[in-house]
Structure 1
Amino acid sequence: MAKEPKYGPSHHSDAPRYTGIRTFMKLPYITDPHEDIDVAIVGLPFDTAASYRSGSRFGPSGIREISMLLRPSNAFHKLNPFDYCSVIDYGDLPLIPGHIHESYDIMKTAYSALARHNIIPIGLGGDHSVTLGELRGLSEKYGALSLVHFDAHGDTWDNYWGKKYTHGTPFRRALEEHIVDPSTSIQIGLRGTVYDPSDVDEAINMGFHVITIDELRSLSPEQLSEQIKSTVGEKPVFLTFDIDFFDPAYAPGTGTPEPGGVTSYEGLNYVRHLPDLNYVGFDLVEVLPALDNAEITAQLGANIVYEFLSILAFHKRNQ
């Protein structure tokens, strides 16, 4: 018999939603990993690997602030995810601006500890460089992970200005470190100008299954789900979602916006139809509140995180 979830948000009748300490959806703030926790929201406030506009270090706080607007039950899946998953807010990791390797060590240690307790982390970035630290920590338990990657950019470049560790290089480094299996990984939504006409082909040659935005437009959410499932199989999965997957009309608050992306409805619908996979971690990155209009980017990011929780609960309910 499944255990009753111990942790979830405070009840809406306890106080107005805008009151209280700013955790994600008013979840309890707990920093001690233990077996009563299924999922942990983890802030990753690091942005000094960004190649253009910085400020996503404030993404975790912006997402938490607007998450107060979310209600607990999911009308699409017809469930309250907190009825099935015990969820806490782990707070922010003390990442060090300008010191990426020390910050990676902090992330690796924290994520390794969460994995040892079978806790699924959902990271709030930060720029996309943080995902390498998350993968390093989780791979200590799970080995090479399958990547499900929603993004306008492949982030498989070799370097920026001779520097190997930036938000545009994490997945090339992950391949080199053998912590991601490209043959069971998929990148979705790539678009925009590139440095070389062969950039997308380069990711394919590395072994990734790549779906560009033009190819994505021809797929229903159900068809995309099938392609993800057939690519990943039964392997442990890390799902990483860059907010610039959305068109900047719907998510202006980000560092490297790309015109021609999906609407908020389309993106949410893709996520709601994600298949039942062996998820061991998620993140939502590149929300930059200083460039956001009326918090619409942070709100969209918070909704994506909520859909991650709902996916886990939906599949747990149906086990």
Structure 2
Amino acid sequence: MQYPLSPDVQPEFCTTGSFMRLPSSREQARLAVVGMPFDTAASFRVGARFAPQAIRQMSSLLFPYHPVHRVYPFDDTHAIDIGDIPVIPHNIHRSYQIMQASVLDLMKKGIVPIGLGGDHSVTLASLRAAAQVYGPVALIQFDSHTDTWDSYYQEKYWHGSPFIRAHEEGLLKSDKVFQLGIRGTLNHPGDLEASLELGYHVITTLELRRRGVPDVVRQVRETIGDTPCFLSFDIDFVDPAFAPGTGTPEVGGFTSHETLEIVRSLVGLNYIGFDVVEVLPPYDPVQTTSLLAATLVHEFASLVALKAKTAGETASGSAK
């Protein structure tokens, strides 16, 4: 049977519980959806532990073909859904070890993981795994917050610190880190300067709108080049009018349409992993946030499929 199943095979509401009804294993898999339901590093609202299943549920509305990139993202990559990693809700460090091991296993096999968070602390586990396989990597972070705060209530590991911890651990190429869409009130001016001091490129919502998407995307692509790149998407990048189900919403963000346009433009990079985090189903009454998150997973998969397709066409042309 061909995967992913589309609604003309069986109704959307008839599901296996996996993302777009993907199988859990498959020969030549190059892409894997993986649930990372850890949320007890959040500072305000919790509930993102329920996001992986909510995102999977809404993925049943999606069709297999991407009409802009002209790929079948999940079929072209032989994608799988390996289910949820069995995290430990009250122990972030053991949860990190478990998540890192699962992601590392995928990356060693050449499989690109797409993590379904979980709060943003889970990204540190993926970056640790990525550094074991690829060395320090580039990062594209969609977010309204920099998440480079050193500590909170004297705790150094929480959803506001993964990217300062990643810097300290040498997991990132600092000059190839882009934090896009930063906005909102701050404790003090130094909140943004903390990221700049790490060598990160901080592009606020105001700057992104002022410069325009094509100019910013050009900078991102030219700076990162072919460096292995991880893309982390905090759903609060999107304005809460379009994505209300999140833990720390910030007004003044991007629409869902603008968001998809930006992600679609980031083609041609050497992606080795993705995640979408901070979706809170309890605050998502009509499931628009989960649907957007599922659509972003479709977009991420399409970027991987398009890169593989382009590489294949180039190789075919060279052979001629």
TM-score over 0.5 for the alignment? yes
**2:161 aligned partner:** 169
User: 2:12 is paired with a residue of what secondary structure?
Assistant: coil
Letter in 1 for 2:227: K
Structure 2 residue corresponding to 1:24, chosen from 19, 26, 48:
19
State the distance in 2 between where 1:291 and 1:11 align: 28
The runs of at least 4 consecutive aligned structure 1 residues that moved more than 6 Å come to: none
CA deviations over 1:124-157 (Å, ceiling 9, x no partner):
0000000001111121111111111000000000
Asked if the contact 1:276/1:315 (under 8 Å) is kept, the reply is: yes
Task: Judge conservation of contact 1:184–1:233 (CA < 8 Å) in 2.
Answer: no
Identical counterparts, % of pairs: 48
Unaligned runs of 5+ residues in structure 2 are: 312-320
Equivalent position to 2:35, from 23, 35, 43: 43
- Give a deviation string over 1:184-227, Cα, whole Å, max 9, x none: 11110000011111211221111001100001112443323211
1:179 to 152, 171, 195: 171
Q: Where do 5+ consecutive residues of structure 1 fail to align? A: 1-5
Secondary structure at the counterpart of residue 275 of structure 2: strand
1:245 equivalent among 237, 240, 254: 237
Hey, what does 2:112 align to over in structure 1? Answer: 120
- Note the aligned Cα RMSD (angstroms): 1.4
Distance in 1, matches of 2:284 and 2:8, equals 30
CA contact (8 A) 1:39 1:85 kept: yes
- Whether 1:213 aligns to 2:205 is yes
Q: 1:11 to 1:298 in 2, by over 3 A?
A: closer
Could you tell me how far apart the structure 2 residues matched to 1:198 and 1:80 are? Answer: 44
Shift of 1:7: 7.4
Q: Counterpart of 2:54 in structure 1: which amino acid?
A: G
Letter aligned with residue 31 of structure 2:
V
C-alpha distance in 2 between matches for 1:82 and 1:92 = 19
> What is the aligned partner in structure 2 of residue 74 from structure 1?
66
Q: Cα 1:43–1:7, aligned 2, differ >3 Å: closer, same or farther?
A: farther
Which residue in 1 is equivalent to 2:9?
14
Q: What is the CA deviation profile of residues 69-116 of structure 1, one whole-angstrom value per residue up to 9, with x for unaligned ones?
A: 001111222232234211000100000101000000001111111111
CA distance in 2, matches of 1:306, 1:20: 17
1:102 aligned onto 2:94: yes
Separation of aligned partners in 2, 1:225 and 1:131: 22
Does the CA contact (< 8 Å) of 2:4 and 2:75 recur in 1?
A: no
Q: Which residue of 2 aligns with 1:3?
A: none
Aligned pairs, number = 311
Amino acid at match of 1:246: V
Residue in structure 2 matched with residue 148 of structure 1 by the alignment: 140
User: Could you state the TM-score of these two structures normalised by the residue count of structure 1?
Assistant: 0.94
Query: Does residue 225 of structure 1 match 2:220?
Result: no
- What TM-score comes out, normalization by structure 2 length? 0.94
